[in-house]
Amino acid sequence: MRNRALFFSFFFVCILTFPRPSIAQPTKLNRLKMEAVQHVETMQKFTQQMVDMLFSFGELGFQEHETSKYITDILKENGFEVETGQSGIPTAWVARWGSGAPVIAFGSDIDGIPKASQKPGVAYHDPVIEGAPGHGEGHNSGQAVNVTAALALQKIMVQENISGTLVLWPGVAEEQLGSKAYFVRDGVFNNVDAVLFTHVSSNLSVSYGEGRGSGLVSVEYTFLGDSAHSAGAPWRGRSALDAVELMNIGMNFRREHLRLSQRTHYVITNGGDQPNVVPSVAQVWYYFREVDYEHIKRLFDIGNDVARGAALMTDTEVEWRILGTAWPRHFNKPIAEAMYDNIKEIGLPDWSEADQTLAKALQKEVGRDPDGLPDELSDPPKPRIGPQLGGGSDDIGDVSWTVPTVTLRYPANIQGLPGHHWSSAVAMATPIAHKGSTTGAKVLAMTALDLLMRPELIEATKTYFTEEQGKETTYTPIISAEDKPATFLNEKIMSEFRDKMKAYYFDPARYKTYLEQLGIEYPTVRGHQ
């Protein structure tokens, strides 16, 4: 009996001495996550206006002047310190708010696609301006996601006196893979603890490990010959265009003997001036894609050898310059797993009948099964299994090898579209994009709070980055210290269309939505023109 009495005395002392876990009450972190979600909810109109405004600009890579000014003006108004002209790129900027560690960086691309002008909410090809660029991928939504999340976090960090620094930055000229390697080289991500990148998609998802697709080097070859009269004395000329064509023939013959994972493609950017003049200058622009650095470098070397051979055959000279690069991607497992927990908490938007009608009509228009918008989340993150067979590229890869990084894909577009195509612009200033961007902002803010308030998560990201990701691979830049961003790209196209496009910029002071401004009934499908 005495032993039992002693036991119960000890038991009750333990109850009084040791803190009991809070079962009914949410943790402080969970409470703040819900507050962040509510802040994002109250900002839906703000998010929608950003999405619509950026859609209306539709600017191409390196020429995103209106886009960058609009975003940085918002950030300045909200207390961010903004540095412009990053890495010698007029449309690049870095915005900072807060103090101390951890430092969390939000990034998203801002450029559009050539010839992708399209009226939103119209499920067939109907350009706002024929031949003009537009957001035929959906990059107009990413910074709306990031800015909304950052402003929601800002309120909570001030309210709760949370230490940390938020950094926002744009992916300039992502379609040319033109900026992020330079940001890495020039120290933008020095002292950054984690990068949360966002990219438009048709579902909510995140991954870790090796990403799908390829890395690449983007190269312009210039052949220099000598002009002559094409009819009078063609033997006196040395055709630079002949050299370009022979290089292309050589690479096309070489394809049979290259790895299945490679992707090599080109456009002739300068083929001469007129048929009766032997071209003294001709240029061709190549993308060499492979799945790892060593094979990218090898493919680049092959291209250079073929170019030299073409120059020898035509008695011309050849020089080349790098226009952009991208490493293959590798994403951080601990961040991805934390983000997916938040994805499950938020779930997909509630799609309306009108949303589904637009999606199915557009899918039918481009020749795929009309299965509409998703009603189930993507699978949990898992590493890629099996051989990598190449595909598209994103220069977030260079960032991912510099600092622990993940990409949040949020459901602001319609699945099954060709990509880099007018159809991918259809949803991007409609309720689909508005809802999807708000959903993405919620997940982004919640994940940032995880990083700000869970020091063990920061440590786990670093451990994975060094001991798993970096175990066998060391990042080697493809660009050199002397390479410069190709800021001249797309100048000619934008100079042709910018004034015409200005007439269609979104005016939120007069209209609630861009659909309203354009007088579009949502949705507009075939049979209802």
309 and 340 share a domain?
no
Q: Is the dihedral of CA 349, 353, 354, 358 positive or negative?
A: positive
Question: Could you tell me what percent of the chain has a pLDDT over 70?
Answer: 94
350 and 407 share a domain?
yes
Q: Closest Cα partner for 277 from 204, 225, 202?
A: 225
286 and 360 share a domain?
no
pLDDT at 21 over 60: no
Give 499: exposed, middle or buried? Use CB within 10 Å, 0-12, 13-18, 19+.
exposed
- Reported as a pLDDT band with limits 50, 70 and 90, residue 47 is very high
Q: What is the pLDDT of residue 23?
A: 36
Q: What is the pLDDT of residue 2?
A: 43
335 and 290 share a domain?
no
Residue with tokens 């590229």: 393
Q: What is the pLDDT of residue 154?
A: 98
368 and 439 share a domain?
yes
Mean pLDDT of 125-148: 98
| Model pLDDT for residues 309-328, shown as the tens digit of each residue | 999 999 999 999 999 999 99
pLDDT at 147 over 60: yes
Q: Closest Cα partner for 333 from 291, 377, 380, 381?
A: 381
120 and 192 share a domain?
yes
Residue with tokens 């022979």: 246
Q: Tell whether 29 is covered by a domain.
A: no
pLDDT at 212 over 90: no
- Residue 205 in tokens: 């998802």
Indicate the helix (H) or strand (E) that contains 107: strand 103-109
Residue 355 is part of a domain; what is its CATH number? 3.40.630.10
| Model pLDDT for residues 74-98, shown as the tens digit of each residue | 999 999 999 999 999 999 999 999 9
pLDDT at 16 over 50: no
429 and 399 share a domain?
yes
- Reported as a pLDDT band with limits 50, 70 and 90, residue 513 is very high
Q: What is the pLDDT of residue 388?
A: 76
Q: Tell whether 301 is covered by a domain.
A: yes
Q: What is the pLDDT of residue 6?
A: 42
pLDDT at 7 over 60: no
Lowest-pLDDT range, 43-52, 377-386, 435-444? Answer: 377-386
- Reported as a pLDDT band with limits 50, 70 and 90, residue 390 is confident
- Work out the mean pLDDT of the chain and round it to a whole number: 94
- Residue 100 in tokens: 């101390």
- Write out the residue range of the structural domain in which residue 61 sits: 42-211+328-473
The residues that bridge with 157 in the sheet, in sequence order, are none
Residue 247 is part of a domain; what is its CATH number? 3.30.70.360
317 and 346 share a domain?
no
Question: Could you tell me what percent of the chain has a pLDDT over 90?
Answer: 91
Enter the pTM of the model: 0.93
Q: What is the pLDDT of residue 386?
A: 65
pLDDT at 338 over 70: yes
260 and 358 share a domain?
no
Number of domains in the chain: 2
Q: Tell whether 1 is covered by a domain.
A: no
Mean pLDDT of 116-127: 98
Q: For the chain, give the number of residues.
A: 529
Q: Closest Cα partner for 291 from 258, 256, 254, 329?
A: 329
Backbone angles phi, psi at 492, to 5 degrees: -65, -45
d(CA 206, CA 179): 23
pLDDT at 15 over 50: no
Q: What is the pLDDT of residue 162?
A: 97
- Residue 298 in tokens: 């090898």
367 and 428 share a domain?
yes
Backbone angles phi, psi at 158, to 5 degrees: -70, -45
